[in-house]
């Protein structure tokens, strides 16, 4: 069983400062992220899983507490993982679970909504359709023949998951009133909900949902900056499709996921220089 854990959709968190070091509340955010992950891992083992691989899918991948994670799982952690949010996933897994996920950029009342990067990217498109991280990761799992069994996060993320995957099991741990404000389920109860939701989902494989995207795959990224778009267009195979838009087409979806990571590295370097740019 594969569990990908992001942070913006974790129970109890609403503030960008809680998402990154050394922000106020970040260390506590890491504990809450690990507790949400553990709820899903414990449910997976209680449902009969032999192996559970958990990947830290947020930022630089240094958020899940290795000293607090369920000792039975395998933890994939650290920066610059080739498959980023999907590192560790392959065709041998029966099902993928997404915990702590959030809605795509621009989603009304989506808590901490964004796609891949919060400031540098306006929108991402997959084969011409707007795509958030749920669609992007579910599509990668789909190319491997791995269905999605559960998505846990804020209410907008759960709505997006059903839009992408149909009647997939979801657990909403908060409901956004704005991008940085939400009605929260207290974490202790939210983690019980994740556990129970995961147990029910794993007991009902008929509700697991695959995401099928036809090849070839075209990834379009609408950047906030002409400088980022121009720099990413230097990557072989990437073309500039507008002043702030890049596109890349391939028959191997793993290249889509890998390219997102490379572009994010470039975008982060340019966006964080402190310079003013268009």
Residues 58, 192 within the same domain: yes
Strands 121-126 and 129-130: antiparallel
pTM of the complete model: 0.95
Q: Which of 137, 82, 77 is nearest to 104 (CA)?
A: 137
Distance CA 47, CA 68 (A): 21
pLDDT of 114 over the 60 cut: yes
Give the structural domain span for 248: 217-271
Residues 263, 161 within the same domain: no
Q: Classify each residue of 49-80 as buried b or exposed e, where b means 16 or more C-beta atoms within 10 Å of its C-beta.
A: beebbbbbbbeebebbbeeebbeebebbbeee
Radius of gyration of the chain (CA): 18
Residues 228, 197 within the same domain: no
Task: Look at the chain and report how many structural domains it folds into.
Answer: 2
Provide CB contacts within 8 A for 211, sequence distance 6+.
Answer: 135, 138, 139, 141, 142, 148, 164, 165
Confidence of residue 188 (pLDDT cuts 50, 70, 90): very high
Residues 29, 49 within the same domain: yes
Confidence of residue 276 (pLDDT cuts 50, 70, 90): very low
Residues 167, 245 within the same domain: no
Q: What is the pLDDT of residue 274?
A: 43
Q: What is the pLDDT of residue 275?
A: 42
pLDDT of 30 over the 50 cut: yes
pLDDT of 228 over the 60 cut: yes
| Active-site residue list | 114
Residues 46, 91 within the same domain: yes
pLDDT tens digits for range 58-80: 999 999 999 999 999 999 999 99
pLDDT of 99 over the 90 cut: yes
Contact indicator for 56, 62 with CB cutoff of 8 Å: yes
Residues 139, 233 within the same domain: no
Which of residues 184, 207, 230 is at a domain's end? Answer: 207
Residues 191, 57 within the same domain: yes
């Amino acid at each position: 069983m594969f569990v990908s854990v992001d942070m913006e959709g974790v129970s109890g968190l609403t503030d960008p400062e809680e998402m990154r070091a050394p922000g106020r509340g970040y260390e506590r955010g890491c504990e809450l992220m690990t507790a949400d992950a553990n709820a899903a891992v414990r449910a997976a083992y209680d449902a009969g899983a032999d192996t559970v691989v958990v990947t830290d899918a947020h930022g630089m991948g240094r958020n899940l507490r290795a000293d607090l994670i369920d000792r039975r799982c395998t933890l994939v952690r650290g920066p610059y993982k080739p498959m980023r949010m999907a590192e560790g996933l392959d065709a041998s897994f029966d099902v993928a679970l997404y915990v702590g996920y959030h809605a795509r950029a621009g989603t009304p009342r989506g808590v901490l909504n964004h796609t891949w990067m919060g400031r540098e990217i306006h929108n991402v498109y997959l084969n011409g359709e707007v795509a958030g991280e749920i669609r992007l990761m579910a599509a990668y799992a789909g190319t491997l023949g791995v269905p999605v069994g559960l998505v846990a996060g804020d209410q907008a993320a759960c709505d997006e998951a059903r839009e992408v995957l149909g009647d997939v099991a979801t657990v909403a741990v908060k409901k956004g009133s704005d991008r940085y404000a939400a009605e929260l389920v207290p974490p202790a109860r939210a983690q019980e909900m994740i556990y129970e939701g995961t147990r029910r989902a794993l007991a009902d494989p008929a509700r697991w949902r695959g995401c099928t995207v036809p090849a070839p795959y075209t990834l379009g990224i609408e950047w906030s900056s002409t400088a980022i778009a121009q720099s990413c267009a230097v990557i072989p195979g990437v073309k500039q499709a507008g002043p702030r838009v890049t596109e890349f087409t391939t028959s191997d979806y793993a290249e889509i996921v890998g390219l997102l990571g490379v572009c994010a590295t470039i975008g982060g370097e340019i966006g964080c220089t402190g310079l003013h740019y268009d």
